[in-house]
Structure 1
Amino acid sequence: MSLDLNDLLRDWPHEPGMIKVRKILGSDGKEKIQLRIDLGLIQMETSGRPDGQEPHDCESLLEYHQQRAKRNEKKGEKYALDAEEVGELQQEGIQYYHRYISLFQLSDYVGVIRDTQRNIDMFNFVSEHAQPEELAQSVEQFTPYVLMMQTRAKASIELEREEFATAVKKIEEGIEQIRAFYEGMENPEAGANSPELGFLTEWVEEVRAKQPLTKLEKMRREMDKAIANEAYERAAELRDLIRQQQQNKK
């Protein structure tokens, strides 16, 4: 059997600037995710740790450290992560990053929310336990990007349902979360130049523009048009209907 990966990749060429993802059935009968990169591909499990490993008989290194931290807490002892352990957690987080960007391309938004939340939990755990505290900055710096991807997934679910108002709300919540992160870091300049905030701010305006008008908004526009055309009787009828609608909402 040839071990040359070119035989496998020839029919699935890499295209610069494009994220190419597919699902395949593994030899174990389970579905796998493949991400095409310039020098080959990355293959991942659809759940659990992306590489399928179970470090220390746990689903992930994060879960392993969380369990140890809980045991220490029960003993009244502080749990600390050293530089090597933070580095290992960061490398594990990259696996989940590869999977959630792949899942986003596959429109598996629930999976994106799961994996982004997992990395956010890891950032928070490292922030709480890294010694010295400065070690946490190596992972915390990615928080705005992960929050942006999670927000995109949450809003995309609502857009698929054509729930435009809810999608707008989800994007606004994501924007506030990212702003709160920068405020907590006391770095307003970085917040002002944040590409994540820039993207979400533009996107929420696009979604608002596509949002269908409500019945009340349609009547208001029709009334304005009637007034402009000096159709005052029709404008008065619409005015009364609008007032009735507003009263019914109270």
Structure 2
Amino acid sequence: MSLDLNTILKDWPHENGNIKVRKIAGLDGREKLQLRVDLGVLQMELAGRPDGRRPHNCESLLEYHQRRATRAAGKGETYELTPEQCAELQQEGIQYYHRYLSLFQINDFDGVVRDTQRNLDLFTFVSEHTDREDFSWSLQQFRPYVLMMNTRAKASIFLGQGKFAEAIAEIERGRDGIVDFLQQSNFPELVSKSSEIAFLDEWLEEVKAKRPLSKLEIMQREMETAIAKELYERAAELRDAIKLLQAKKH
């Protein structure tokens, strides 16, 4: 069997500006996720650590260190990450980044929520277990982006279910989370420059514009139209109906 990858690469060419992802059947019988990159293909497991390894018999290095930190806390001890451990955790986080980016392309939003939340937990864990601000910020600088992707996935799930109000609330929550993080960081001026905030603001307006009007909103617009046309009897009927509907909601 040839080790040359050219056959695979030629049949699935890379395209600049286009993220190409596919699922394939692995030799072990499990589905794999493949991401086409300029110099080849990244292949990932769909669950667990993307490379399929189990460091220290744990699902991930993060889980391994979390367990050790929990044991240390139980003994009243502090758990401090070494620079090498921080670097290893960051490399592992990149694997999950590649996977959630790929999962987003195939609309596996549940998987995106899982992996983005996992990396958000990673950022928090490293910040809590190192005194080095540079190590902490090397990960935390990506929090706005990961929060945005987490928000996009959660809101997309709601939109797929036709739950516009919930999707709008999720987008607003994600946007506010990014603003809060940046304002509390050493770089609050980034709030006005954040591409993540700008994207969520624009998407929020798009979703609001597509949201079907509620029964109450339809009646309110009908009442405004009736008043404008001086159909006061109809306007009064609508006003009473609106009050009744509002009372039922409370």
- Shorter-chain TM-score category? over 0.9
Give distance in 1, aligned partners of 2:65 and 2:9.
38
Give distance in 2, aligned partners of 1:24 and 1:170.
32
Partner of 2:117: 117
Q: What does 1:19-168 align with in structure 2 at a 5 Å threshold?
A: 19-168=19-168
Q: Please, what TM-score do these two structures have when normalized by structure 1?
A: 0.96
- Tell me, yes or no, if the aligned pair for 1:33 and 1:43 is still in contact at 8 Å: yes
Partner of 1:178: 178
Give distance in 2, aligned partners of 1:81 and 1:197.
32
Q: How many pairs were matched up?
A: 250
1:246 aligns with 2:246: yes
Deviations 1:131-187 (A, max 9, x none): 434311111111110000000000000000010000000011101111111122142
Name the amino acid aligned to 2:21. Answer: V
Percent identity among equivalent residues?
Answer: 62
1:190 aligns with 2:190: yes
Name the amino acid aligned to 1:58. Answer: C
- Give the Å deviation of 1:7: 0.3
Which moved further from structure 2: 228-237 or 87-96?
228-237
Give distance in 1, aligned partners of 2:125 and 2:243.
53
- Give the Å deviation of 1:69: 1.4
Runs of 5+ unmatched residues, structure 2: none
Give distance in 1, aligned partners of 2:179 and 2:214.
30
- Give the Å deviation of 1:63: 1.0
1:228 aligns with 2:228: yes
- Give the Å deviation of 1:219: 1.0
- Give the Å deviation of 1:243: 2.0
Deviations 1:189-234 (A, max 9, x none): 1111111111111111111111110111111111222222233322
Name the amino acid aligned to 2:53. Answer: Q
Q: Please, what TM-score do these two structures have when normalized by structure 2?
A: 0.96
- Give the Å deviation of 1:76: 2.1
- Tell me, yes or no, if the aligned pair for 1:219 and 1:242 is still in contact at 8 Å: yes
Give distance in 2, aligned partners of 1:23 and 1:108.
12
- Give the Å deviation of 1:242: 1.5
Name the amino acid aligned to 1:245. Answer: L
Which moved further from structure 2: 215-224 or 73-82?
73-82
- Tell me, yes or no, if the aligned pair for 1:83 and 1:131 is still in contact at 8 Å: no
Runs of 5+ unmatched residues, structure 1: none
- Give the Å deviation of 1:74: 2.2
Give distance in 2, aligned partners of 1:143 and 1:149.
10
Give distance in 2, aligned partners of 1:114 and 1:160.
18
Partner of 1:212: 212
2:11 alignment partner, SS class:
coil
CA distance 1:68–1:248, shift in 2 (3 Å): closer
- Give the Å deviation of 1:75: 2.4
